[in-house]
C-alpha cells in the first residue's frame, strides 16, 4: 500500500521535506496538526505509510462494537471508555505499557474548528507514559509534510510548548482561518 500512499501524496502536490520520524522510536504520542479538515487524516495516513509507521488513534468505545468494531481496530483504532476510573490518560498510559510498538496520533485541537488553545491530553499522556511527543506537520500552504524531531516532555511545560510553537510557526491547515493557537492550559498553571 506504500505505492498508493505515494501516489495520493504526489497527486495532491505534497512533498516530504519536513523530515522522517526517527527509526529508533517505537512508542510516541504523535501530534496531528494543524487539524482543519477531514483531508488531514487521509494525508497523515499516507505520510505515515510512506515513512513505515503504523498509526493508532483513540475512539469512543461504542465505535468498536459489532458490526464494524473489527475494522476500527484493523485501522489502528483503540477504544476509550470514558466511564472507566482514571479516564483517557490512564487507559492510554496502559496501552503504552502493554505494547511493544504504539504510535498514538492525537489532533490536539480536538476539532476541525478554530480553537484558542489545544487540549492538553497529548502532553499529559506522553508525560504519564514516559514517551516522546512526535510532532507531525501538514502544511497546506507549502504542501510540505513530515515529522519534526521528538520532544521529551520535561517539568517545564512552557519551554516544551515553546519548542512546539516553533515547529508549527507559520504552518497552516487546509482552512488557514481554522488553524488554532499552539497553547495548552497547563502553561497557565506554571505561571
Query: Per residue in 123-139, is it b (16+ CB within 10 Å) or e — as a string?
Result: bbbbbbbebbbbbbbbb
Tell me which DSSP letter residue 17 carries: E
- Tell me the mean pLDDT in the region 92-100: 94
- Tell me the mean pLDDT in the region 89-105: 93
Report the C-alpha gap between 64 and 61 in whole angstroms: 6
Report the C-alpha gap between 183 and 17 in whole angstroms: 25
How do residues 133-185 score in pLDDT, each as one tens digit? 999 999 999 999 999 999 999 999 999 999 999 999 999 999 999 988 898 98
- CB-CB contact of 158 with 189 (8 Å): no
Q: 63 or 26: whose pLDDT is higher?
A: 26
Examine the pLDDT at 72 and tell me if it is beyond 90: no
Mean pLDDT (the chain, rounded): 91
Examine the pLDDT at 21 and tell me if it is beyond 80: yes
Global pTM reads: 0.90
- CB-CB contact of 72 with 60 (8 Å): no
Percentage, residues of the chain above pLDDT 70: 99
Examine the pLDDT at 65 and tell me if it is beyond 60: yes
**The predicted structure's pLDDT at residue 166:** 96
Examine the pLDDT at 191 and tell me if it is beyond 60: no
Amino acid at each position: 500500500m506504500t505505492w498508493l500512499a505515494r501516489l495520493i501524496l504526489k497527486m495532491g502536490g505534497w512533498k516530504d521535506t519536513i523530515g522522517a520520524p526517527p527509526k529508533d522510536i517505537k512508542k510516541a504520542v504523535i501530534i496531528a496538526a494543524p487539524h482543519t479538515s477531514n483531508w488531514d487524516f487521509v494525508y497523515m495516513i499516507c505520510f505515515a505509510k510512506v515513512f513505515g509507521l503504523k498509526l493508532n488513534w483513540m475512539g469512543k468505545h461504542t465505535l468498536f462494537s459489532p458490526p464494524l468494531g473489527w475494522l476500527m481496530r484493523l485501522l489502528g483504532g483503540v477504544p476509550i471508555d470514558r466511564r472507566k476510573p482514571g479516564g483517557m490518560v490512564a487507559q492510554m498510559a496502559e496501552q503504552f505499557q502493554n505494547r511493544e510498538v504504539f504510535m498514538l496520533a492525537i489532533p490536539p485541537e480536538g476539532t476541525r474548528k478554530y480553537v484558542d488553545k489545544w487540549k492538553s491530553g497529548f502532553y499529559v499522556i506522553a508525560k504519564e507514559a514516559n514517551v516522546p511527543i512526535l510532532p507531525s506537520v501538514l502544511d497546506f500552504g507549502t504542501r510540505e509534510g513530515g515529522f519534526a524531531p521528538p520532544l521529551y516532555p520535561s517539568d517545564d511545560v512552557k519551554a516544551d510548548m515553546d519548542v512546539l510553537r516553533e515547529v508549527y510557526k507559520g504552518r497552516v491547515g487546509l482552512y488557514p482561518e481554522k488553524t488554532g493557537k499552539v497553547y495548552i492550559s497547563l502553561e497557565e498553571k506554571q505561571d
